[in-house]
């Protein structure tokens, strides 16, 4: 199966391992990731105000490109996923935004939110199947206690992201189990790392990220995993702990014997 792939800016630079192993593993699992030609940066944060139109265009261009090919759009970075999924929801449900965007773009066929947007982990669950992944594991991560860090972007707002139960998610724990490891449940797994405030006031992400890592370690975690480059940065740089923080695709590649 071939899907449209939106890597995003950070996967081309500071988060190359997130991208590299996403591609390698997808190939091994029978999914071709076809990178959208000339994709543009999503902007990192969803433009929340109802009158923001220009800031939504890069997402719509990616969504429309996938629609033209009749493909599902797959993202890996949690931030890109949050932005693109929410813009798609606007195009489905907000008549004013849809009308203005389509007038601006003036395409032959208006875009009305038809593209199915999946995060890489949803792709693994829904298009490959965690059972099939389990069968393909050659290097089970047996005995490893891994804490999934969801953060905010994959889960909220719950009704729009429709990713999992926003207060008690389980998809990443199911993924960790499929790789042969033991998932660690801890209370701070869906709390914020402090995000982009690290630029002007690192003290804030420090407090937030320390809370997350301490919570994970208090519950026995040996490794923390995330899909978000900024979460990974904050946990590593501002988390005040030496516990390894790795991308979900790195864990998958290790289990599949591709790393």
Partner 1 sequence: MEQNNFKETVLRISGVNPKKCMRCGKCSGACPNYDEMEFHPHQFVSMVENGEIEKLMTSPSVYKCLTCFACVERCPRQVEPAKLIEAVRLCVIRQAGQNHLKPDQIPEMLDEDLPQQAIVSAFRKFTK
Map residue 231 onto helix, strand or coil.
Answer: helix
The count of other CB atoms within 10 Å of the CB of residue 239 is 27
Cβ proximity to partner 1, 53 vs 65, nearer residue: 53
If one asks whether residue 7 binds partner 1 (CB under 8 A), the answer comes out as no
Angle between helices 78-93 and 57-69 (to 10 degrees): 80
**Length of the chain in terms of residues written:** 259
Contact segment (CB under 8 A) with partner 1 among 8-16, 19-27, 67-75, 100-108 equals 8-16
If one asks whether residue 208 binds partner 1 (CB under 8 A), the answer comes out as yes
If one asks whether residue 75 binds partner 1 (CB under 8 A), the answer comes out as no
Q: Which of 3, 36, 65, 79 binds partner 1 (CB under 8 A)?
A: 79
Cβ proximity to partner 1, 104 vs 196, nearer residue: 196
If one asks whether residue 230 binds partner 1 (CB under 8 A), the answer comes out as yes
Tell which positions 139-178 bind partner 1, by CB under 8 A.
152, 155-158, 166-167
Tell which positions 11-30 bind partner 1, by CB under 8 A.
13-15
CB 118 within 8 A of CB 76: no
Residue whose entry in the numeric block shows the structure tokens 């719509």: 60
Torsional class of 129: left (φ above 0), alpha (ψ -120 to 50), beta (otherwise): left
Measure the CA–CA gap between 174 and 151, rounded to whole angstroms.
17
User: Rounded to a whole number, what is the largest CA-CA distance in the chain?
Assistant: 56
If one asks whether residue 105 binds partner 1 (CB under 8 A), the answer comes out as no
What is the dihedral sign for C-alpha 177, 181, 182, 187?
A: negative
Contact segment (CB under 8 A) with partner 1 among 106-114, 127-135, 192-200, 247-255 equals 192-200
CB 121 within 8 A of CB 252: no
Number of residues that bind partner 1 (CB under 8 A): 44
Residue whose entry in the numeric block shows the structure tokens 């959208």: 36
Smallest distance from partner 1 to CB 88, Å: 17
Contact segment (CB under 8 A) with partner 1 among 45-53, 98-106, 213-221, 246-254 equals 45-53
CA angle 51, 57, 63 (to 5 degrees): 125
Interface residues toward partner 1, by CB under 8 A: 8-10, 13-15, 41, 43-45, 47-51, 55, 77, 79, 152, 155-158, 166-167, 191-192, 194-200, 204, 208, 211, 228-230, 232-233, 236-237
């Amino acid at each position: 199966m071939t899907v449209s792939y939106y890597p995003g800016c950070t996967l081309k630079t500071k988060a190359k391992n997130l991208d590299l192993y996403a591609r390698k593993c997808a190939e091994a699992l029978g999914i071709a990731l076809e990178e959208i030609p000339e994709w543009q940066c999503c902007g990192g944060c969803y433009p929340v105000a109802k009158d923001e139109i220009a800031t939504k265009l890069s997402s719509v261009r990616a969504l429309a490109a996938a629609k033209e090919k009749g493909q599902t759009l797959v993202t890996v970075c949690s931030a890109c996923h949050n932005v693109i999924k929410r813009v798609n929801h606007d195009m489905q449900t907000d008549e004013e935004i849809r009308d203005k965007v389509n007038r601006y773009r003036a395409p032959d066929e208006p875009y009305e939110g038809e593209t199915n947007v999946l995060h890489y982990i949803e792709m693994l669950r829904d298009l490959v199947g965690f059972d099939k992944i389990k069968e393909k594991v050659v290097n089970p991560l047996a005995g490893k206690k891994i804490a999934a860090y969801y953060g905010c972007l994959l889960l909220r707002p719950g009704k729009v992201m429709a990713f999992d139960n926003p207060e008690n998610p389980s998809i990443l724990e199911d993924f960790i189990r499929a790789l042969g490891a033991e998932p660690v449940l801890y209370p701070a797994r869906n709390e914020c790392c402090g995000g982009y405030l690290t630029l002007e006031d690192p003290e804030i992400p420090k407090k937030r990220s320390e809370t997350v890592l301490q919570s994970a370690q208090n519950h026995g975690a040996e490794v923390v995993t995330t899909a978000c480059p900024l979460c990974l940065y904050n946990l590593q740089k501002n988390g005040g702990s030496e516990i390894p923080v790795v991308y979900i695709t790195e864990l998958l590649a290790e289990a599949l014997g591709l790393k």
